[in-house]
Amino acid sequence: MAGVAAPLLQARGLTKNFGAIAATDAVDLDLNSGDSVGLIGPNGAGKSTLLALLAGDHRPSAGALTLDGTDITRLPVHARVRSGVARAAQIPQSFDRLTVRENALLPALFGAGLGRSEAEGWIAEVLALVGLTERAGMLAGALGLLDRKRLELAKAVAARPRVLLLDEIAAGLTEPEIEAIMELVLSLREGRAIVWVEHIPFALRGTCDRLMVMDKGAKTHDGAFAEVWENPELQSIYMGVSDDHSASH
Amino acid sequence: MIRPWEIAALALGLAAAICGATLIGSGSLFLLCEILVIFLLAQMWNLLAGFAGQISLGHQAFVGLGAYTLFLAANETALPLWLVLALVPVAVGLVAIPLGLVMFHLKHAYFAVGMWVVAEILMQLAAKADWLGGTSGLVLRPGGNMLAGEPERVVFAIAAFCAVALMVGLRVFLRTRLGLATLALRENEAAAASAGIDVRGLHLMHFALTAAGTALAGALYYITALYISPNDAFQINWLIAMMFVTVVGGIGTLTGPALGTIILIGAREAMTAWGFTGGQYWIVMGLLAVVVLLLAPRGLWPAIAARRGATQHATTEETEA
Ligand SMILES: Nc1ncnc2c1ncn2[C@@H]1O[C@H](COP(=O)(O)OP(=O)(O)O)[C@@H](O)[C@H]1O
Ligand SMILES: [Mg+2]
């Protein structure tokens, strides 16, 4: 490509107001293929709102968003998924009276645009990756919360996104389960950008090269993981998280 | 794709439609035509409300539109009646597309009530239009002549085959990718969009298709009636029948509306035979709806299916029920 290639995903001044509060306040963000970004910040910092803006669930109050240099600010959710931006939401959303397999099949068919047989093969892989193979024939409504979170992740992955947005997919999991998710995230890094919101430092440190911090809607830090993590300001902004919980006194 | 026994069912349906049309007595045919029309109407409403998740309180508008289109086109042109009948769903389906685009600006309850307003407006417009005969309506005179023969025989054959074809067609449809997407809509529209499904486009498709089917059923009915008026064709009783049959029978199931139709018409015939009045009939139907919805909120068919021990597979396999 001639000149400087446009970032895969670029946000400029992305803002979302809910009444008087700016849930997300003028956030700039560049994501390139291969980037894996951990996103942290206290509850209410605007992390989920930022991911919702990227996924198209919210229309921004201000700002612009491009994918491959093309403006997608006004693109509706379904078109964004088709063009390669998918999110596993913090609150899992499933099709309760469809089977787990059918739930994952839909984003493979409509999001990734695969044919039926190709999609069937692909979702068998995805369900194996998230550990839902044995539950594939169950109705999604019969799943427990953790399995619903796994299914939410499977649905996002099944769409074969180039930008994969993960919102607290590991919350509530046990350590071995978190490690399985980390492995999955690592295996998904190639050829796409990942933004992972999580309150589990070792999970982010083990999978992300970059760390971004949000507070009160604004992006406060964004850089190499270790650098941002070591930043002394971080602990004061982000009291909720520390590796050994020693900051809780 | 379509399964061998489904093709067999279509063939059987065609044979039964033709045999019935030639062998059954005229009096029974009128009743059977009405039953089939109610079933077709209810299945259309069920497809939109129970599967695509859009409740319309104005689908009687398409009954009237279909019937008026048929009467007008048949009376004013030299086209054969049955050709006009075939064109009616196409014409009304096309009209429904811009209507849907406008009405979809209203969401949920507003859409439902907005559709009812549309039906009321159409009734008023038809009543004001001299070229549609105003409040006294139109008599069916294809090409200017009285309709010869026994049209109810052809109507029965068409309606019976359509009913079978609709059941088979919907089963096949629900197994396709768009069918699966439709089931997803019923469950969760936001999640459907997140899966890459064009929710609005799919809603529009169902809106136009169900408008077309409703128009065809309405046109069939008024061919047997030979006469149409605004107060009859656009009446809310069409909607009540569609909703009663669907909700009591089992919304979001393919078999429910068939069961509901049998109950609605069966009870009416029985009560009439026992000397009850129309008012008493509707009171009983209203009570029945309340009782069913209290005891089996998803309708009778799902309750029966559960009782038979079938697991509640409301997935694409549910269409096997
Ligand atoms: N749909 C909404 N309506 C009103 N306020 C909202 C909505 N979603 C989020 N908020 C508010 O925006 C802020 C950011 O929320 P959120 O993005 O969920 O934070 P985080 O994910 O970082 O915990 C919070 O103050 C929250 O109450
Ligand atoms: Mg959040």
| Helix, strand or coil, per DSSP, at residue B297 | coil
Give the residue, by CA position, lying nearest to ligand 1 atom 11: A23
The pLDDT of residue B266 is 95
Tens of pLDDT along A22-32?
999 999 999 99
If you write DSSP's letter for every residue of A41-79 in order, what string do you get? --TTSSHHHHHHHHHTSS--SEEEEEETTEE-TT--HHH
Tens of pLDDT along B112-123?
999 999 999 999
The pLDDT of residue B189 is 94
A113 and A171 housed in the same domain: no
Q: How far apart are CA B182 and CA B184, in angstroms?
A: 5
In short, whether A21's Cβ falls inside 6 Å of ligand 1 is yes
A75 and A172 housed in the same domain: yes
Under DSSP, the state recorded for B319 is G
CB atoms within 10 A of CB B301: 23
B312 in contact with chain A, both atoms CB, cutoff 8 A: yes
Residue B300 pLDDT exceeds 80: yes
Indicate the pLDDT class of residue A246, thresholds 50, 70 and 90.
very low
A78 and A4 housed in the same domain: yes
A79 and A166 housed in the same domain: yes
Domain count, chain A: 2
Closest CA to B299 of B314, B281, B317: B314
Q: How far apart are CA B251 and CA B42, in angstroms?
A: 10
Contact A97 B183 (CB under 8 A): yes
Distance from CA of A215 to the nearest CA of B (A): 27
Q: What crossing angle do the helices spanning B109-128 and B60-76 adopt, rounded to 10°?
A: 30
Contacts of B310 in chain A (CB under 8 A): none
Residue B317 pLDDT exceeds 70: no
Type of residue numbered B284: V
A142 and A70 housed in the same domain: no
The pLDDT of residue B318 is 44
Tens of pLDDT along A32-60?
999 999 999 999 999 999 999 999 999 99
The pLDDT of residue B321 is 36
Indicate the pLDDT class of residue B30, thresholds 50, 70 and 90.
very high
The pLDDT of residue B312 is 44
Distance from CA of B207 to the nearest CA of A (A): 20
Contact B195 A82 (CB under 8 A): no
Q: A23 CA distance to ligand 1 centroid (A)?
A: 6
- Closest in A93, A105, A107 to B188, CB measured: A93
In short, whether A103's Cβ falls inside 6 Å of ligand 1 is no
In short, whether A202's Cβ falls inside 6 Å of ligand 1 is no
Residue A248 pLDDT exceeds 60: no
Closest CA to B82 of B146, B166, B163, B158: B158
Tens of pLDDT along B48-90?
999 999 999 999 999 999 999 999 999 999 999 999 999 999 9
Written as six digits, the tokens of A6 are 């446009």
The pLDDT of residue B63 is 98
Mean pLDDT of A145-170: 96
Q: How far apart are CA B157 and CA B17, in angstroms?
A: 4
B45 assigned to some structural domain:
yes
Tens of pLDDT along A63-82?
999 999 999 999 999 999 99
Closest CA to B41 of B287, B229, B213, B275: B213
A179 and A211 housed in the same domain: yes
Closest chain B residue to A93 measured between Cα atoms?
Answer: B191
A214 and A112 housed in the same domain: no
Residue A6 pLDDT exceeds 90: no
A168 and A78 housed in the same domain: yes
Written as six digits, the tokens of A37 are 């970004």
Residue A239 pLDDT exceeds 60: no
B286 assigned to some structural domain:
no
Closest CA to B217 of B76, B6, B65, B53: B65
Mean pLDDT of A173-184: 92
The pLDDT of residue B136 is 95
Q: How far apart are CA B12 and CA B19, in angstroms?
A: 10
A145 and A132 housed in the same domain: yes
Indicate the pLDDT class of residue B314, thresholds 50, 70 and 90.
very low
B204 in contact with chain A, both atoms CB, cutoff 8 A: no
Domain boundary among A112, A133, A160: A160
Residue A112 pLDDT exceeds 70: yes
Q: B80 CA distance to ligand 2 centroid (A)?
A: 64
B36 assigned to some structural domain:
yes
Mean pLDDT of B132-150: 92
The pLDDT of residue B149 is 87
CB B56 within 8 A of CB B44: no
Q: Where are the alpha helices (DSSP H) in chain B?
A: 4-23, 26-46, 60-76, 81-103, 109-128, 151-175, 177-187, 189-194, 199-225, 230-233, 236-249, 256-273, 278-295, 300-307
Distance from CA of B6 to the nearest CA of A (A): 22
B67 assigned to some structural domain:
yes
- The per-residue pLDDT of chain A, averaged, comes to 92
Domain boundary among A134, A160, A186: A160
In short, whether A18's Cβ falls inside 6 Å of ligand 1 is yes
Q: Which CATH number goes with the domain that contains A21?
A: 3.40.50.300
Q: How far apart are CA A106 and CA A113, in angstroms?
A: 9
The pLDDT of residue B8 is 96
Indicate the pLDDT class of residue A3, thresholds 50, 70 and 90.
low
Q: A49 CA distance to ligand 1 centroid (A)?
A: 6
Q: How far apart are CA B101 and CA B74, in angstroms?
A: 29
Give the residue, by CA position, lying nearest to ligand 1 atom 10: A23
- The per-residue pLDDT of chain B, averaged, comes to 94
Q: Is A172 exposed, middle or buried (0-12, 13-18, 19+ CB in 10 A)?
A: exposed
The pLDDT of residue A4 is 66
Written as six digits, the tokens of B271 are 């009560």
In chain A, how long is the greatest CA-to-CA distance? 56
Q: Is B112 exposed, middle or buried (0-12, 13-18, 19+ CB in 10 A)?
A: middle
Distance from CA of B195 to the nearest CA of A (A): 4
Domain that holds residue A13: 1-84+162-240
The DSSP element (H or E) to which A21 belongs, if any, is strand A21-31
- ipTM comes to 0.91
Q: B220 CA distance to ligand 2 centroid (A)?
A: 55
The pLDDT of residue B1 is 81
B124 in contact with chain A, both atoms CB, cutoff 8 A: no
Mean pLDDT of A126-141: 96
> Which of A10-14, B80-84, B305-309 has the weakest average pLDDT?
B305-309
Under DSSP, the state recorded for B49 is I
Tens of pLDDT along B4-25?
999 999 999 999 999 999 999 9
Closest CA to A94 of A50, A39, A135, A51: A135
Mean pLDDT of B160-185: 96
A52 and A172 housed in the same domain: yes
The DSSP element (H or E) to which A237 belongs, if any, is helix A232-237
The pLDDT of residue B83 is 97
Contacts of A167 in chain B (CB under 8 A): none
Atom of ligand 1 nearest to the CA of A50: 17
* DSSP β-ladder status, A21-31 and A9-18: antiparallel
Domain that holds residue B184: 4-234
Residue A202 pLDDT exceeds 50: yes
> Dihedral of CA B115/B118/B122/B128: which sign?
positive
Tell me which of B183, B186, B194, B311 to substitute to probe the interface with A (most A C-beta atoms closer than 10 Å): B194
Give the residue, by CA position, lying nearest to ligand 1 atom 3: A18
Mean pLDDT of B219-245: 97
A1 and A79 housed in the same domain: yes
CB B21 within 8 A of CB B153: yes
CB A73 within 8 A of CB A47: no
Q: A217 CA distance to ligand 2 centroid (A)?
A: 12
CB A189 within 8 A of CB A36: yes
B243 assigned to some structural domain:
no
B261 assigned to some structural domain:
no
Closest chain B residue to A58 measured between Cα atoms?
Answer: B190
Give the residue, by CA position, lying nearest to ligand 1 atom 4: A18
In short, whether A10's Cβ falls inside 6 Å of ligand 1 is no
> Dihedral of CA B67/B68/B74/B75: which sign?
positive
Contact A106 B181 (CB under 8 A): yes
Most informative mutation of A40, A43, A48 for ligand 1 (most atoms within 8 A of CB)? A48
Type of residue numbered A28: D
> Dihedral of CA A204/A78/A114/A134: which sign?
positive
Residue B131 pLDDT exceeds 90: yes
Q: Where are the alpha helices (DSSP H) in B176-235?
A: 177-187, 189-194, 199-225, 230-233
